[in-house]
Structure 1
Amino acid sequence: MRNSVATVIAARRTPIATVGQRLAAFSVDSLAASSLCATLTDAQLALGNQPAIGDVVLGNCMGPGGNTARVASLAAGIDVTVPGMTVDRQCGSGLAAVLVAAEQIAAGSRSMRLAGGAESASTAPTRIAKNTAYARAAFAPEGFPDPDMGPAAEALAGTRRISRDQQDAYALRSHDRAVDARNSGRFINELVTIGDVTTDDGPRPMSRAMLARFAPVFATDTSGTVTAGNSCRVSDGAATVALVPDADRGSAPGLALIGSATVGCDPATPGLGPAFAIESLLEQTGVRLDDIEAVEIVEAFAAQALAVLWEIGLASANTVDDRVCADGGALALGHPWGASGAVSVVRLFSRLVRSGRPAGTLGLATAAIGGGMGVAALFRVVR
């Protein structure tokens, strides 16, 4: 059986809200259900029919279990005969779920897939082991380095000599671009209203002086450079896409997946994973970085994002390539862990498909993953 190319024909997301704030009353499955409903409606309009759904695949990191994808699917009113699968690849979960759905289509399925991710940090359950509550599960077994992502970013800033000023400048760039995108209406068509929440919490007017007031949060002394100002906020949100075999999309424009890579790296430096995933992806596809028009990286920390961008040549000590997170990223919008990788795909869809970029235009989505991994996916506009 010949492999089929999977194409994203619809992409939506909820607003992203800081933990404990405007989306705090919504469970992870209700966030996902809202995004699924809007994505499915868009897909039906794009195709001009009501396609059969083969599966719902969602990423999630810290939810209550019980197969979030299945619960959200039923809550969205999708037929009980449609199965659901939840993927945990930590901060890469949302993008990993999209890739799993694409692989199902590549294996020969002719049914549409709904995929993405969701996270409600506000309602995540407390985890207990040996009668003790803990913040997160281990990313690596005993005997391996297993840093939290914040301290790992601080260590990466030190070894790569990424200064506080450089991190603050990158964070300011993210906020400035996201504020401009919001004010210019570039988020409107990708957003799903949930309750009375219509916009993202995060993007706000910032300045270097404001960012300079933040104290280091992960270093044991004042020499630290990673602050709350140049780190993402823990957030709630969901993002989903609809994928169909390219041969079945008719005249619907979309993003065809032309390659992906998921790799492991040293657990001590988990933030560098995207660089290695991108290198692997470009090698297997034969695409050059110069050929790609839009890049979306999950900006967990300015230090981490800069380390990756420096590694692959998309940033230098003083500049960042304009193709990277052109409308801001997680530093401004927030980071709903299990959803963020899917948010990157939604953003590519808006930047390339909704904006009318020509067929053949390439976009890249990538994320770092706790435990020492990276995931990257390359898409091409089809019309």
Structure 2
Amino acid sequence: MTAQSSPVIVAAARTPIGSTGHSLARLQVEKLAAPVLRELSDRVAPLGIPDDVVLGNCMGPGGNVARLSALAAGLGEAVPGLSVDRQCASGLAAIDVAAQAVRAGSELVLAGGVESASTAPWRFWPPASPEAEPVRYQRARFAPSAEDDLEMGLANDLFAAEAQVSRERQDAYAARSHALAVEARDAGTYDDEIVALGAVTRDDRPRSGLTTQRLGRLPAAFRPGGTVTAGNSCGISDGAAAVAVVGAAAQERLGVPGLRILGTATSGVAPSRPGRGLVPATRLALKRAELDLDQIDVIEFNEAFAGQVLACCDELDLDPARVCRQGGALALGHPWGASGAVLAVRLFSQLVTQGAGRYGLAAIAAGGGMGVAMVVEAC
């Protein structure tokens, strides 16, 4: 693919990320996504209305969340919407869909993801018999067989054990994520990417003084003798993130820097080990971009579990110190459908706003055993 035909991200924004039940708990999905979409639309106003809005979402109210959010943002009745569900990778998958649309001729697509775990409706399975009570629906199945359909925590605890990632490494990595996020937050590093929601202007979750020793006192959360705890796992969260994707001609009209999308990939792995999904996706995206990991300046992996990230780094022969150098989801939180888009926003902030290098990689694993990755170049 020539540089002239490659889609370009020319604007990126996100809400603060709120821990479930806390600062953003009263805002439904469209009230999270709409301010971000409005902000992006304003930044690229010379291009007119978007050709489409594509948003990832996992556990929201159903219906077409992207269309609902586009209308709530005041983008106009002529702007359609497409909702994407690739579980935790939905936000990054939505950006990939937008990139494909731009390659096919669209001038401007707004894409990302949104999740409000706090306001997700309760659902119930029908009663098994007239005398029985309905049973609350907790989550969709990730795989047809029970042996593959594991809870995420258990699956990633087993993954970490098989990869021989110690509890000590996991706790140290989690403490690092919080320390880096607190440092970035307090230095105003996140300010340019965050769209305030009323009085909420910063992320809920990052904690100062969270040491490896403090984390080491927490019990295993998912199995006896396990190494995954509440402290070295991400938090369930609310939030939205999106980017504006355009073609090269539109970027030239705007006269702004951006991130050229060089390669994307989606891969599948064993559904019982979903956290590994970002490994083959990363390899394939790099291959398509004709780059290797040594050439990448900024790497953003979704930190669902410290053990999962470390196991993936070990398999990729990647120094974990190169990953999420301004904090990741262990500290910021994991708003499922939005998390992949948060990674893209973080790449934009570092490579474009802060000038931290030339090439970037975002990658995320997803329930069901999948991974999505994207390689970009500052341009």
TM class by smaller structure: over 0.9
Q: Distance in 2 between matches of 1:122 and 1:187?
A: 23
Deviations 1:129-181 (A, max 9, x none): 23311210011123661111110111112111111101000001100110111
Task: Name the counterpart of 2:217.
Answer: 213
Deviations 1:198-249 (A, max 9, x none): 0000111111222122111101x2x111000000000000001111102221
Q: Report the alpha carbon displacement of residue 286 of structure 1 after superposing the two structures with TM.
A: 2.0
2:298 and 2:356 in contact (8 A); partners too: no
Deviations 1:272-331 (A, max 9, x none): 01011111122233211111100000000001111111111113xxxx23x310100000
1:258-277 paired onto structure 2 within 5 Å: 258-277=262-281
Task: Name the counterpart of 1:379.
Answer: 376
1:111-190 paired onto structure 2 within 5 Å: 111-130=107-126, 131-142=134-145, 145-190=148-193
Task: Name the counterpart of 1:20.
Answer: 21
Q: Distance in 1 between matches of 2:272 and 2:145?
A: 13
Task: Name the counterpart of 2:248.
Answer: 246
Q: Distance in 2 between matches of 1:191 and 1:127?
A: 32
2:49 and 2:75 in contact (8 A); partners too: no
> Aligned AA for 1:246?
A
> Aligned AA for 2:67?
R
RMSD of aligned C-alpha atoms? 1.3
Further displaced range: 137-146 or 366-375: 137-146
Q: Report the alpha carbon displacement of residue 43 of structure 1 after superposing the two structures with TM.
A: 2.5
Further displaced range: 289-298 or 128-137: 128-137
Q: Distance in 1 between matches of 2:166 and 2:323?
A: 20
Q: Distance in 2 between matches of 1:237 and 1:214?
A: 27
1:218-233 paired onto structure 2 within 5 Å: 218-219=222-223, 221=224, 223-233=225-235
Task: Name the counterpart of 1:198.
Answer: 201
Q: Distance in 2 between matches of 1:233 and 1:285?
A: 32
Further displaced range: 128-137 or 146-155: 128-137
Question: Are 1:97 and 2:97 an aligned pair?
Answer: no
> Post-superposition, which runs of at least 4 consecutive aligned residues in structure 1 deviate over 4 A?
none
Question: Are 1:326 and 2:325 an aligned pair?
Answer: yes
Q: Report the alpha carbon displacement of residue 55 of structure 1 after superposing the two structures with TM.
A: 0.1
Task: Name the counterpart of 2:44.
Answer: 43
Task: Name the counterpart of 1:10.
Answer: 11
What SS does structure 2 have at the residue aligned with 1:169? helix
Q: Distance in 2 between matches of 1:139 and 1:247?
A: 41
Query: Which residue, 43, 55, 63 being the options, matches 1:58?
Result: 55
Task: Name the counterpart of 1:82.
Answer: 79
Task: Name the counterpart of 2:304.
Answer: 300
What SS does structure 2 have at the residue aligned with 1:115? strand
What SS does structure 2 have at the residue aligned with 1:53? coil
Q: Distance in 2 between matches of 1:163 and 1:379?
A: 32
Q: Report the alpha carbon displacement of residue 108 of structure 1 after superposing the two structures with TM.
A: 2.0
Task: Name the counterpart of 1:234.
Answer: 236
TM-score, structure 2 length as denominator?
Answer: 0.94
- Give the number of aligned pairs: 367
Unaligned ranges ≥5, structure 1: none
1:14 and 1:194 in contact (8 A); partners too: yes
Unaligned ranges ≥5, structure 2: 127-133
State, as a whole percentage, how many aligned pairs show the same letter.
50
Q: Distance in 2 between matches of 1:43 and 1:245?
A: 13
Q: Distance in 2 between matches of 1:127 and 1:95?
A: 27
> Aligned AA for 1:118?
V
Further displaced range: 128-137 or 60-69: 128-137
1:367 and 1:374 in contact (8 A); partners too: yes
Task: Name the counterpart of 1:278.
Answer: 282
Q: Distance in 1 between matches of 2:105 and 2:16?
A: 34
1:261 and 1:277 in contact (8 A); partners too: yes
Task: Name the counterpart of 2:363.
Answer: 366
Say if 1:180 and 1:89 are closer, same or farther in 2 by CA, change over 3 A.
same
Q: Report the alpha carbon displacement of residue 52 of structure 1 after superposing the two structures with TM.
A: 3.3
What SS does structure 2 have at the residue aligned with 1:151? helix
1:144 and 1:267 in contact (8 A); partners too: no
1:4 and 1:107 in contact (8 A); partners too: no
2:297 and 2:356 in contact (8 A); partners too: no
Q: Distance in 2 between matches of 1:178 and 1:310?
A: 23
Q: Distance in 2 between matches of 1:71 and 1:151?
A: 35
Q: Report the alpha carbon displacement of residue 127 of structure 1 after superposing the two structures with TM.
A: 2.2
